[in-house]
Amino acid sequence: MSIESDLLDKHQASMGPPASSAEHRPAGVIKGATLNDFLKFALLGLGSGGAYALLASGAVVIYRGSGVVNFAQGSFALVGAYTYYELHGRTATWVAVAAAVVLAAVFGLATQELIMWRMRASSPLARIVATLAIVVVISQIAVLRFGDTLRFVDGFLPNGSVQVNSAVIIPAGGLWLFGIAAVLTVGLWAFYRYSKFGLATSAVAENQEALACLGRSPRSVARINWTIGAGLAGLAGVLLVPITGLDQAVVALVIIPALSAALVGGFVSFPLTLLGAAVIGILESETTHWITSPPGLNVAVPFAVILFILLVRGKALPLRSFRADRLPSVGSGRISPTWVMVGLVVTVGSLYLFDNTWSQAVTASATAALIGLSLVVVTGYAGQISLAQYAFAGIGGFIASRLTAAAGVPFPWSIVLGVLATVPVGMIFALPAVRARGVNLAVATLGGAVVIESVVLSNTDWTGGVQGTQLPSRVLFGLDVDYIDDPPRYAALCAVVVCLAALVVANVRRGQSGRRLLAVRDNERAAASLGISVVGAKTYAFGIGAGLAALGGGLAAFQFSSVDFTTYAPLTDVNFLMYAVIGGLAYNLGGITAGFLVLGGLVQVIIGYFVDITHTWDLILGILLLIQLTFTPDGIVRHQIDVITKVRRFLPRRRRTGLAPPLATIPSYRTKPKMLELRDVTVRYGGTTALDSVSLTVRPGEVVGLIGPNGAGKTTLIDAATGFVRPAGGRILFDGKPVDGLSVQQRAKLGLIRSWQSLELFEDMNVEENLLTASESRSMSVYLSDLVRPRRRAHTKAGLAAIAQFSLDDSLTRQPTDLPYAVRRLVGIARSVAMAPSVLLLDEPAAGLDDKSTGELVTLIRQLAADWGMGILLVEHDVSMVMRACDTVVAIDFGRHIVTGPPEDVRSDPRVIEAYLGGHDLVEDVGTVRAER
């Protein structure tokens, strides 16, 4: 069923018939369209636009006050709508409306106090999942209390119609709704701009200490904003359901257009949010009327808006200020073949011991486990929040079953083809991921899932009519594996497929591809600076994820002789993320556990032998998830691993060592000699000129220091040289050739590598994996070969030399977070050195180091230049270090070049002294000169 088309159909039904009925026009053709028709449907769309605006403004309020993107706004609207529905007619209308708003607001307040406040240190992913769990909980309570049927609700806005011109008359209700939204938007805008509380809300995002000066705590600010935001959602629910009818699935999913509108306003601006909501409402209305084939295409409107916004506003790489989310901890991908065999034998054996209910549970769990594993790859390993995996399963099942039913392709080849055809669909979903991350991506993928489910899977013209797609008997290599004939046999087949898929996922994790995915998940900028294609890694993850989900969908479809794809309801995507998070999102076993947890899966069936909780299953899981998120956000598998690790401490163990052999002497390594030249490079950020026509040369074997006070433009120069910012003018030559047009990755592959002021280590990998990630080849073929057999990990010659040079042998198997700060700094530089750069740009490598460590670093830098032949650009505030380490020093200030010369000359140059200390003698301050300007 198409949620939004359903919404608009009812909207239009309640507001009078359209001038020319869509049914009488040939499919997909605009005929006899007049300007008046366009005007009429635009005005009709304003009604739903108004409701979206109210919901979206509530979401903006909550985001501004607490930084949480609330997917449960639609559910709060549901609370308001049901309250109004219960009270309307029994009490005065205004009391019903007020009660609806207040109850929704109470839900918002409770969400903040009981859940979000406890999760304030959790990752945005965990917080998104919490709001999704609230969606599940509220929807399930609504189903238990009110059932699943559509209810009609009387409105209270004035009836009647408005004559727009001589040809256009429209019902007044929608215009009233939009008017209310517009007035509230102005009110919200003024309140948050001019009131003390509005100021405090803005301060929460900027600076929590400043907030204390305003006499407010972040908690009280968040509390009030959650209350206001949820109250607005409650009001939206009350105003919306007289138009749409009251159906929990429809109302909960209004969140997609609402969040799309909030995205238009950047989750900050109320007027832009209103504008976005109006545009979405209008476009939906026009699409519903003018484009009739395929039906339900109006749901694509919010998705198109999201894509457009992400395309225009998104960034291929995050900005310098972007802090990557801390995502759930990751499994090692190690698998014990013995345990896999034992698990498989026990599962298959059990199929022949118990009745068919058990076989059905194993089949349901196995097919769902494949979707769980797909989430492990996409969200667990690659860090891309996807709410479309269940939709991919639907597409896989759809293609496979249609190939069999319509083209006679036999089982299992139809499933194989279904998987292969879904992989590119998944890769297309990586497009928003290329320019969006975190919560924006979650909104985009859920929007995409709704489009797949509404436009393709609910289209009976394509899915075999109301009967669904009829499938012949299943035979595999001459063996009857038809579920109807022999349920245990089909279940056993599914279990074997899950084991194979789990091996593939484990291979990915242990292989080069897994390290690339984790690098991208941990830090896109650092990954790109090492030459890893961020786009390639994301596309790969979405492709593999879609393939795994399609495999699950295909096997689920072929379980029965008739397939109905309307079961692929968008909210089930949310349930799947919930199961996977409970299991452990980045653990192979977590993905499989997700399969056990589905409704009709093993866990529910086992419990069902004792007590029937079928109807409350998802509600119970939703509540359990909320509890889990506030205590163990990494899932139950992580919890079990922790317990096993504790037990193992008491058992004798082999000490794990790194791959690098102990090296008595440092192996010599010479990098390819290349020269970096910046000629008159200018960089502007809007109105700020960060670099103004600066020139500089770094020759092979030379250490060039770049000094300047805070904000002088030093990091910007490194960003420009390595491709993180595009200069407004000038040239950048590497090895005599211009590299201005090359991407970060391309420059890195040529040997132009940087290190980071803030380290940017891949915290989910140990030191050895950090170094391997840097030095491994960038070949694309490993993406395929790793699926079958991950390549043996081996350090390159440069990698081994870097380990020895930085004395990291003993730290290889340790996590970066376990290391002392000075060693972490060395790992950051060694990682860049392992790539054997011709020119290395070091951004404040001595920041935070004591004198002794700084001295050692100077020696290392000199050795890299002398022994490795590297050209080095050293950006550093510690002037004494620069003087000791560099052959040449370049000083800049306010983005402008001051002087270039030998260290002693630059140190005593009056212009440099003036820039640093306003005339104070720099020579006297040879210690750490940290100029504060």
Binding site for ligand ATP (CB under 6 A): 319-320, 685, 688, 690, 708, 710-716
Nearer to ligand ATP, 552 or 895 (CB): 895
Give the whole-angstrom CA distance, residue 540 versus residue 517.
9
Residue the block writes with tokens 């897994």: 514
Buried b (16+ CB within 10 A) or exposed e, 299-316: bbbbbebbbebbeeebee
Q: What's the min distance (Å) between Cβ of 331 and ligand ATP? A: 36
298 secondary structure, DSSP code: G
Which helix (DSSP H) or strand (DSSP E) does residue 316 occupy? none
Q: What's the min distance (Å) between Cβ of 757 and ligand ATP? A: 7
Nearer to ligand ATP, 315 or 656 (CB): 315
Q: What's the min distance (Å) between Cβ of 892 and ligand ATP? A: 8
Q: What's the min distance (Å) between Cβ of 769 and ligand ATP? A: 29
Q: What's the min distance (Å) between Cβ of 911 and ligand ATP? A: 16
Q: What's the min distance (Å) between Cβ of 825 and ligand ATP? A: 16
Nearer to ligand ATP, 173 or 713 (CB): 713
Q: What's the min distance (Å) between Cβ of 829 and ligand ATP? A: 17
* Three-state DSSP class for residue 725: coil
Q: CB–CB of 183/176 below 8 Å?
A: no
Q: How many CB atoms lie within 10 A of CB 121?
A: 8
Nearer to ligand ATP, 153 or 324 (CB): 324
Nearer to ligand ATP, 115 or 931 (CB): 931
Q: What's the min distance (Å) between Cβ of 891 and ligand ATP? A: 11
Give the whole-angstrom CA distance, residue 331 versus residue 507.
12
Give the whole-angstrom CA distance, residue 529 versus residue 512.
17
Q: Which two tokens stand for residue 218?
A: 């972040």
Sign of the torsion angle spanned by Cα atoms 713, 718, 724, 728? positive
Nearer to ligand ATP, 582 or 691 (CB): 691
Give the whole-angstrom CA distance, residue 520 versus residue 157.
51
Residue 283: Cβ-neighbour burial (10 angstroms; 0-12, 13-18, 19+): buried
Nearer to ligand ATP, 370 or 759 (CB): 759
Q: Which two tokens stand for residue 438?
A: 């975190």
Q: What's the min distance (Å) between Cβ of 48 and ligand ATP? A: 38
378 secondary structure, DSSP code: I
Q: What's the min distance (Å) between Cβ of 194 and ligand ATP? A: 27
Residue 916: Cβ-neighbour burial (10 angstroms; 0-12, 13-18, 19+): buried
Q: What's the min distance (Å) between Cβ of 436 and ligand ATP? A: 18
Which helix (DSSP H) or strand (DSSP E) does residue 74 occupy? helix 73-87
Nearer to ligand ATP, 504 or 706 (CB): 706
> Can you list the alpha helix ranges (DSSP code H) found in 111-168?
124-146
Nearer to ligand ATP, 318 or 855 (CB): 318
Instruction: Calculate Rg over the CA atoms of the chain.
Output: 30
Pick the closest to residue 24 from 32, 12, 16, 15 (CA basis).
32
> Can you list the alpha helix ranges (DSSP code H) found in 511-649?
512-522, 524-529, 534-557, 570-583, 588-597, 602-608, 617-631, 635-648
Interior CA angle at 320 toward 318 and 321, to 5°?
A: 95
Nearer to ligand ATP, 224 or 744 (CB): 744
Nearer to ligand ATP, 380 or 895 (CB): 895
Q: What's the min distance (Å) between Cβ of 758 and ligand ATP? A: 10
Nearer to ligand ATP, 535 or 690 (CB): 690
Q: How many CB atoms lie within 10 A of CB 853?
A: 17
Nearer to ligand ATP, 712 or 898 (CB): 712
Q: What's the min distance (Å) between Cβ of 262 and ligand ATP? A: 24
Q: What's the min distance (Å) between Cβ of 714 and ligand ATP? A: 4
* Segment 448-451 long-range contacts (CB within 8 Å, at least 24 positions apart): 448/303, 448/388, 448/391, 449/387, 449/388, 449/390, 449/391, 449/570, 449/573, 450/3, 450/253, 450/256, 450/299, 450/303, 450/570, 451/299, 451/300, 451/303
Nearer to ligand ATP, 566 or 758 (CB): 758
Residue the block writes with tokens 């609806």: 100
Q: Which two tokens stand for residue 884?
A: 């000791």
Nearer to ligand ATP, 173 or 708 (CB): 708
Q: Which two tokens stand for residue 595?
A: 């399969």
Tally helices (H) and strands (E) across the chain: 38, 16
Q: What's the min distance (Å) between Cβ of 738 and ligand ATP? A: 22
811 secondary structure, DSSP code: G
Give the whole-angstrom CA distance, residue 906 versus residue 597.
68
Q: What's the min distance (Å) between Cβ of 526 and ligand ATP? A: 17
Q: What's the min distance (Å) between Cβ of 496 and ligand ATP? A: 52
φ/ψ region of 652 (left if φ > 0, alpha if ψ in -120 to 50, else beta) reads beta
Nearer to ligand ATP, 737 or 933 (CB): 933
Pick the closest to residue 521 from 334, 638, 379, 322 (CA basis).
379
